[in-house]
């Protein structure tokens, strides 16, 4: 295992040999230089609206992703999904920094997905073999099979309540023990038990509440 240190000195585990060209945050800065997911064409805004969602964009910051991984402690048996993955920073970060079997980013907006694919290609060109563990899908996450998921993250701050309910019901048909990390609380649910609330920095606010749940009862 290789260790990277958070700014406050917290030691975090990483998959050995994941890049070989510097720490993960340095790689992310390099492959995303000049890229963001904020401006999208009007046609894509309409596509998001037809999916009953919102095109508002925001990100979990890289240091916050490290803290989340420290909490989750993913292993080689885990399959991670980022639902609404934007330009792919979290999905790629997880692939590069951990030994998960697969890290999957699902993003509806085509321009954001293309930015994520370009960043993944840059990571591979830099010798980051672990980028191959990252799969990026340009799809509606409600129409993607999630049966293999063990860890799910969603930056759900701008999700309409109805969309979050549909997502929770879909995930509730998954594997018992699945952990869901969401920026919007689920509210009352017969399927998920709250296990933690973290305070993590996002692109719009420091110490944003981030809610962690475990699937304790499967939906019929």
pLDDT digits (tens, 9 = 90+) for 21-47: 458 989 999 999 999 999 999 999 999
How confident is the prediction for the chain on average, in pLDDT?
A: 90
Strands 102-106 and 79-83: parallel
Q: How many residues are listed for the chain in this entry? A: 220
What is the pLDDT averaged over residues 51-56? 87
What proportion of the chain, given as a percentage, has pLDDT over 90? 85
What is the pLDDT averaged over residues 157-177? 96
The count of other CB atoms within 10 Å of the CB of residue 161 is: 9
> Which pair of tokens denotes residue 138?
């340009």
Q: What is the pLDDT of residue 22?
A: 52
| Residue 3 pLDDT greater than 70, yes or no | no
Q: Quote the CA–CA distance of 125 and 129 in Å, as a whole number.
A: 9
| Residue 169 pLDDT greater than 80, yes or no | yes
| Residue 1 pLDDT greater than 90, yes or no | no
| Residue 14 pLDDT greater than 60, yes or no | no
Fold assignment, 16-215: Rossmann fold (3.40.50)
Question: What band does 18 get if pLDDT is binned at 50, 70 and 90?
Answer: low
**Which parts of the chain fold into alpha helices (H)?**
24-31, 42-50, 62-72, 89-97, 110-125, 161-171
Q: Quote the CA–CA distance of 211 and 181 in Å, as a whole number.
A: 6
Provide the whole-model pTM.
Answer: 0.90
The count of other CB atoms within 10 Å of the CB of residue 81 is: 28
| Residue 20 pLDDT greater than 80, yes or no | no
Q: Do the beta carbons of residue 98 and residue 131 sit within 8 Å? A: no
Question: What band does 52 get if pLDDT is binned at 50, 70 and 90?
Answer: confident
| Residue 125 pLDDT greater than 60, yes or no | yes
Q: Quote the CA–CA distance of 139 and 156 in Å, as a whole number.
A: 16
Q: Cα torsion at 99, 75, 176, 152 (round to 10°)?
A: -50
| Residue 148 pLDDT greater than 60, yes or no | yes
Radius of gyration of the chain (CA): 16
**54 alpha-carbon distance from chain centroid:** 17
173 three-class SS: coil
What is the pLDDT averaged over residues 160-164? 94
**7 alpha-carbon distance from chain centroid:** 21
């Amino acid at each position: 295992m290789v260790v990277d240190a958070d700014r406050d000195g917290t030691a975090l585990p990483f998959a050995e040999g994941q890049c070989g060209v510097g720490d993960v945050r340095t790689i992310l800065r390099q492959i995303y230089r000049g890229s963001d997911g904020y401006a999208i064409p009007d046609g894509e805004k309409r596509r998001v609206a037809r999916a009953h969602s919102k095109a508002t964009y925001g990100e979990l910051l890289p240091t916050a992703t490290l803290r989340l991984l420290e909490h989750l402690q993913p292993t080689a048996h885990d399959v991670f999904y980022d639902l609404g993955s934007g330009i792919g920073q979290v999905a790629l970060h997880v692939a590069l920094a951990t030994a998960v079997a697969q890290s999957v980013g699902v993003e509806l907006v085509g321009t954001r997905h293309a930015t994520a694919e370009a960043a993944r290609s840059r990571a591979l060109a830099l010798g980051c073999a672990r980028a191959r563990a990252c799969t990026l899908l340009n799809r509606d996450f409600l129409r993607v099979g999630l049966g293999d998921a063990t860890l799910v993250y969603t930056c759900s701050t701008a999700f309409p309540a109805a969309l979050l309910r549909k997502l929770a019901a879909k995930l509730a048909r998954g594997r018992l023990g699945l952990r869901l990390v969401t920026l919007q609380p689920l509210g009352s649910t017969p399927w998920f038990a709250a296990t933690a609330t973290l305070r993590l920095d996002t692109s719009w606010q420091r110490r944003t509440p981030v809610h962690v749940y475990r699937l304790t009862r499967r939906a019929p």
